[in-house]
Amino acid sequence: MGNTILKAASTAEALEQGFTTDTFEKLTKDLGRVPTISEIKISGMIWPQLYSSEYSGKVELGNNTNYEFRVNSHLNNTHDSSSLIAQINSIRLGELSKKENISLTKKTLETLSKENNINNAPIIANDVFFDQNLGNLPLINTFSVKRLDSKKETSPLNLREIIQSEETINSIAQLLGLDRKNIKVKAENMNIQLLDNDEIFATLPLDFFSKNEFSINENQGKEPDYFLENKNFDINQIKEPEDLKELASFLLKQPNIASKRWINDQFNTLKRSAPKKVSKNSDAAIEDTKDSKQSILLSVNGNSRYIKADPYIGTALAIAEASRNIICSGGRPLAISACLNLGDLASPETKWQHINIEEALSTASKKFDAPVVDKVISFNRFSETAGKKTAISPAPAIGMLGLLEEKNKTMTFDFKHKGDLIFILGEAVECIGSSEYLTAYHGVTSSPAPYFDMNKEYELHKVLQSLVKNDLINAAHNCSIGGTFIALTEMAMPNELGFDIVTDAEIREDAFLFGESGGRVLVGVNEKSEDAFIEFMMNSRVNFTLLGHVTQGKLVVDDEHFGFIQEAKKSYNKALEEIIEG
């Protein structure tokens, strides 16, 4: 163990890790000495996670029906899971173009499955995203829902649970350059002691963290240089591909777009905790509640690429998309649980990212009528390659709980009949910023977050709720990663139908088909409902455009044949397995 981490910390170093001058002096008094570098850095990592104690996690539905909605940032969940009714795993991994990340993906899934099995977790979905900015650090957040006894209070994580988790110990080892195998955790009176080869390298007083508030000095935040570079992105510098059919085929095979069925199958293959059978073909995961006509809905979002490009817009987009998913499934948003995974707390850029993420979380949660009932902040997350540590880009995971008032009124995204009309709701914008198309196909990693207008998004949600309630549509699908073409293909696959559409002549075809601007939903309309649908939309303030109609199985864009749905479906379902298994 190096002497550096045992050195006494300065006040300046403590301020970088979320201390104030006052709290640094209080910790010095509690320890009877000046805290060490290791104690300051570990505090900066775990202290923010205790923010969850400020949030009850409680969601009240009336009639003595209450739920607890929580996020856990650790692989080994120490909460009692006996009363869990649903769980979604948020899995964030490095890009699969690197071989080491393929083996890491397999190992992470196996570990996660073991932990879920130990806790008997009722998994209803896995939300997965691959991002080069995460390097080789897997980020696992679990979002869970409990049915509460009307008299029972919720119980947040405490310091002892956080510090003893496997993920925290691994992070401490990485943070301080120690060997994980040599680290031990020991409870001594009212302190937690950390030992390396039986030598104490950190002492953390339990009372200190419960009595003192973690603080971020906003004045220490600094806008990173790349943020301005992203703003200067010009779509005209990107050459539009000549063969858009080839591009569509390419994108269907990308890990962030292709079916995640292979990942879910790993839980079945390992015979541990297979995702439960729930309603298929809905944008949100749905779980029936016993002895009730209602169902709960869960959606987890957080595109780390968007959030790095613009922390405020990226986070607001994550909340908007979660709300969109729940409404597209026939429900209404209830509450948010969030885990903010962030990089080096000592970095002014990380502080700036955190400030903007928090601002977006506050603003968007109020706008979309979904209060934050639980929040965990996890700083000092690093990936490591060849002994070099690199702070991760911000990767918040946003979970949203929703309610479906009548479980037999679920809205699904699958096309129902040949001849049904296809409309897109929302604003058409020439935008390819931070899209899978721009990143994976063109290799451009510096661009702004996708276009997003919070007020227009809110209007879209209200209109969509009315369309579902009045049975004016028979399918609804969020248009997000991969853009309009991918969303259309996902709607066509379940019943092996197709589509024949026309793009907007005023927008570049690649942007129209593969751009990921916010505030858009695709809907299916039966010809019998067409007049009532159009009349309703004409009286709304939301843009709507007739794209085309559902076909027997042929995919047609602007009179050009893009293949058949059976071919696209096979490619979409097999791509991830072929990448990982070779």
Phi, psi dihedrals of residue 461, rounded to the nearest 5°? -60, -45
Three-state DSSP at 106 gives helix
Return d(Cα 570, Cα 415) in angstroms, integer.
Answer: 18
One DSSP character per residue, 554-580 reads: EEEETTEEEEEHHHHHHHHHHHHHHHH
Which residues are paired to 92 by β-bridges?
129, 139
- What pLDDT sits at residue 1? 56
Of 489, 568, 553, the residue nearest 522 (C-alpha): 489
pLDDT < 50 regions, the chain? 75-78, 269-273, 277
Query: What single DSSP character describes residue 381?
Result: -
- What pLDDT sits at residue 52? 56
Cβ burial, residue 536 (10 Å; 0-12/13-18/19+):
middle
Q: 């009877």: which residue's tokens?
A: 32
- What pLDDT sits at residue 520? 98
Domains along the chain with CATH numbers: 420-581 (3.90.650.10)
Return d(Cα 44, Cα 353) in angstroms, integer.
Answer: 16
Distance, CA of 160 to chain centre: 27
- Amino acid 174 reads Q
Return d(Cα 395, Cα 304) in angstroms, integer.
Answer: 5
Q: Which helix (H) or strand (E) holds 200?
A: strand 199-205
Residues 130, 356, 543, 490: what is their CA dihedral angle, to the nearest 10 degrees? Answer: 10
Return d(Cα 321, Cα 302) in angstroms, integer.
Answer: 9
